[in-house]
Structure 1
């Protein structure tokens, strides 16, 4: 089951990358990993560095995809984003944290993408 979920996640991330490129986002990094976790997509839009969490689902049985980005996951993404910015010397940029929800039908031939801009903030 775990491999199946990872395959769904990878497919969703690939669709999200295509969506972002079509909407004039410059992709900086995909699957930025540290020992504390992973940021799915890091990109640049105009003068903003955007950190994106991608959530893919087949049904609403376990809630909406953006509900899976819990407070702890948000803290983890924020912490890793600070590390990424320092490591890459990106000091003069504003940041934004987005969530991209992808809904699949059971045959994988149709999908719907919902881009939640500024889904959570650094407080």
Structure 2
């Protein structure tokens, strides 16, 4: 089951990357990982560094995909983003935290992408 969920997540991330490329986002990193966790996609849009969490689902049985980005997950993404900005010396950029929801049908031949811009903020 774990491999199945990983495959669904990877497929959703690849579809999200295609969507971002079509919408003029410059991809900086995919799956930026440190000991504390990972950020699915880091990209640049105009003068904004965008940190994106991708959530993929086949059904709404467990709620909307964006609901899986809990307060603790948001805090983890924010901490990893601070490390990323410091490591890469990206001091003069504004940041944004987005969530991309990918909905699949049972045959994997159709999908729908919902891009939630500025889904949460650093306070």
TM-score by length of 1: 1.00
Is 1:51 aligned to 2:27, yes or no? no
Match of 2:21 in 1: 21
Aligned length: 123
3-state DSSP class of the match of 2:24? coil
Match of 2:122 in 1: 122
Q: Which runs of 4+ in 1 moved over 3 A?
A: none
CA distance in structure 2 between the partners assigned to 1:3 and 1:38 by the alignment = 18
Match of 1:40 in 2: 40
CA distance in structure 1 between the partners assigned to 2:47 and 2:112 by the alignment = 27
Could you report, residue by residue, the CA deviation over 1:59-91 in whole angstroms, capped at 9, with x for unpaired residues?
A: 000000000000000000000000000000000
Match of 1:74 in 2: 74
Q: For structure 1, which runs of at least 5 residues remain unmatched after alignment?
A: none
Q: For structure 2, which runs of at least 5 residues remain unmatched after alignment?
A: none
